[in-house]
Amino acid sequence: MGGIAIAVLCVAPWASAQNVTLTSSGNNIYDNIYVSPYYATVNGSSNTPIVCDDFKDDSYLNKGWTGNIVSFSSLATPGGLSATAWGSVNNALQLYEEAAWLTEGVLNQGSGTQGQINYSYAVWAVFDPTGVASYLDNGGSPSAANIALCNAIFGSGGCASTSVTGGLLGMAQGNTYTLSEFSNVSIITPVVNGATCTAGSCPEQEFMEVPEGGAAFTYLFVAGLCCCGAMFLRSRQKIATAVTA
């Protein structure tokens, strides 16, 4: 994947390095990709539901790594965005607000439902609309289900276009946010040699966490989903154990 691009990490009290281990990818698979929520042990707290916002990198189960835990309310402070994987992109704060709103949508959907699939892919599309649309477009031969998913994400433009005409991204972009409404959201970003990595060159994906007991957690833990061994949660390659939708 090439050399690791390193973003300078500004050490601050709101960014703390914690041990993270993904323990379950859940059982909701669409087009050979496991969708959010996943489950992890974060600094010793097991079965923590997390939502992925990173379609450019890959993650593995049962492989521990160091994650920078950043409170959402800190993103507007000097250096706050530098502790995240997408902090250097244009309009990063607005995009994180959109991703947080969609993350709460993921967690409010029934477990294993199409709604959870739609919201999960929409979270990925906030930061990487081209990558998501290209994957679902399948080289110009999208399935009817993929066309429907693209329309649910982007509006009527379909898989071949990332022009947002409606859909979940249109809703997310049309909202007006305040940082306080996501005060319970944290961002978990991989750290490499003490520095925050940049999306596309991270050893693991970036995730969002909403503490259990928050309003978004109507549907949380699904028992018996823990898988053993290392495997891709998200990859441009096919997942060998996944069943094509």
Amino acid at site 92: A
What's the confidence (pLDDT) of residue 16? Answer: 74
In a domain, 89, yes or no: yes
pLDDT by residue, tens only, the chain of 245 residues: 333 232 333 334 455 788 999 999 998 999 999 999 999 999 899 999 999 999 999 999 999 999 999 999 899 998 899 999 999 999 999 999 999 999 999 999 999 999 999 999 999 999 999 999 999 999 999 999 999 999 999 998 888 877 899 999 999 999 999 989 999 999 999 999 989 999 999 999 999 999 765 433 333 333 333 333 334 455 433 333 333 22
What's the confidence (pLDDT) of residue 211? Answer: 79
Q: Which residue has the tokens 């607000």?
A: 97
Which distant-in-sequence residues (6+ apart) come within 8 Å of 109 by Cβ? 115, 116, 119, 219
* d(C-alpha 136, C-alpha 147), whole Å: 8
What's the confidence (pLDDT) of residue 43? Answer: 87
Residue 210 phi/psi, 5-degree rounding, is -115, 120
What's the confidence (pLDDT) of residue 88? Answer: 95
What's the confidence (pLDDT) of residue 224? Answer: 32
What's the confidence (pLDDT) of residue 233? Answer: 53
- Whether the Cβ atoms of residue 53 and residue 189 lie closer than 8 Å to each other: no
* d(C-alpha 243, C-alpha 237), whole Å: 13
- pTM for the structure as a whole: 0.83
In a domain, 203, yes or no: yes
In a domain, 185, yes or no: yes
Q: Which of 36, 159, 145 is nearest to 99 (CA)?
A: 36
* Domain count for the chain: 1
- Whether the Cβ atoms of residue 34 and residue 26 lie closer than 8 Å to each other: yes
State in Å, rounded, how far the first CA of the chain is from the last one.
Answer: 28
Query: Which domain does 161 fall in, by range?
Result: 15-209
Helix ranges (DSSP H) in 88-163:
92-108, 114-127, 129-137, 144-154
**Within its chain, how far is the Cα of 182 from the centroid?**
16
In a domain, 240, yes or no: no
What's the confidence (pLDDT) of residue 15? Answer: 57
In a domain, 154, yes or no: yes
In a domain, 174, yes or no: yes
What's the confidence (pLDDT) of residue 212? Answer: 63
- Whether the Cβ atoms of residue 146 and residue 33 lie closer than 8 Å to each other: no
In a domain, 43, yes or no: yes
Q: Which of 199, 216, 185, 211 is nearest to 70 (CA)?
A: 185
In a domain, 243, yes or no: no
Q: For residue 124, what are its two tokens?
A: 């990925």
